[in-house]
Structure 1
């Protein structure tokens, strides 16, 4: 089992080209797994992890409801935003500047074959990262992602998650609001959940700006511990 994860920080990158790049890495792993099975070989499958920041974009998961986008095509253009219906789970979400997006493209057979455990580990990495900033967060029953003040009228989401998996290979991932403009969430029903707010690390800490590179390093540290893996920086 290969427990090395090749890490790339793509910086600011268009959503569509990043999605295509994910698909390319994903297909490479799946094709190798098929080849190993067909030829009875044991060539180790690679694992990847991407950090990226997208321009303003709304994405709708395969089971999502288009009605949860509250903007027309012209209004999208006026806000400088794009829209894509994509092949991950979950409903609608927003990505934009000031948000840390993480895409693990892993062969889970290198770690464990349990999608629920995988999602809980992604959530846990964010929960542990937020704890380092003195913020208590957790999970909300039946709602993937990381939340604050769960079970109270002030529940608010700080990190959204949506993944795709095939042959135990994953893609898509999580989006943590760090310095994001939360006004863009007013144009959707986030994750299809009415009546619940969103927040950011910046808002919760009450600071002008949070150091995003510091947040990224903390996320990587906790992922490495949880998955018992080594990140190889490119």
Structure 2
């Protein structure tokens, strides 16, 4: 099993360009697995972890409801935002500047073959990272992602998640609000869940700006511990 995970920080990059790059890496891993199965080639499969920040964009998952986007095309254009239907799970999600977005493209045969466990581990990476900022983050029953003050009238989501997996290869991932412009969340029903607020790490800490590089370092530290991964920056 190859536990090495290649970490790339793509910086600010268009959503569709990043999606295409994810698909390229995803297909490469699948092709290797198919070759191994057909030819007993015994080739190692790669694992990747992409960090990226997107210009304003709304994405709708396979099971999502377009009515959860509350603006039309003209209003999106006025907000300098794009919209895409995508092949991940989940409903509608916003990405934009000030978010730390992580896309693990892993062959789970190198780690464990359990999608439920994979999602819980991704959530745990976020929970442990936020704990380093003295925030008690939690899961909310029946709602993927990471929340604060679950079970109270003040429950608010700080990290959205949605993944795709085929033959135990993953893509898409999480979006953690670090210095996000929360006004953009008013243009949708986040993840299709009505009446739930959204927050950002800088708001919770009462800071104008949180060091995003530091947040990424903490995320990778907890990811490598939980997945017992050998992380390599490329």
Range class of TM-score, shorter chain: over 0.9
Structure 1 residue 209, shift from structure 2 partner: 0.5
Give CA-to-partner distance per residue, 1:29-86, whole Å, 9 cap, x none: 0011000000012100000000000000000001000000001000000000000000
Q: How does 1:69-84 map to 2 (within 5 A)?
A: 69-84=69-84
Distance 2:181 2:110 in 1: 37
1:141 maps to 141
Runs (4+) of structure 1 exceeding 3 A deviation are none
Q: How does 1:37-48 map to 2 (within 5 A)?
A: 37-48=37-48
Q: How does 1:71-110 map to 2 (within 5 A)?
A: 71-110=71-110
Structure 1 residue 159, shift from structure 2 partner: 0.1
Distance 1:208 1:174 in 2: 23
- How big is the alpha-carbon RMSD for the aligned residues of Structure 1 and Structure 2? 0.3
Instruction: Tell me the matched-pair count.
Output: 234
1:125 maps to 125
Partner of 2:158, secondary structure, is: strand
Distance 2:208 2:162 in 1: 29
TM-score normalised over the length of structure 2? 1.00
2:33 maps to 33
Partner of 2:161, secondary structure, is: strand
For structure 2, the residue ranges without an aligned partner over 5 or more in a row are none
Distance 2:232 2:214 in 1: 18
1:221 maps to 221
Distance 2:18 2:198 in 1: 25
Give CA-to-partner distance per residue, 1:174-231, whole Å, 9 cap, x none: 0000000000000000000000000000000001100000000000000000000111
Distance 1:98 1:109 in 2: 33
Q: Find out whether 1:59 has 2:26 as its counterpart.
A: no
Partner of 2:113, secondary structure, is: coil
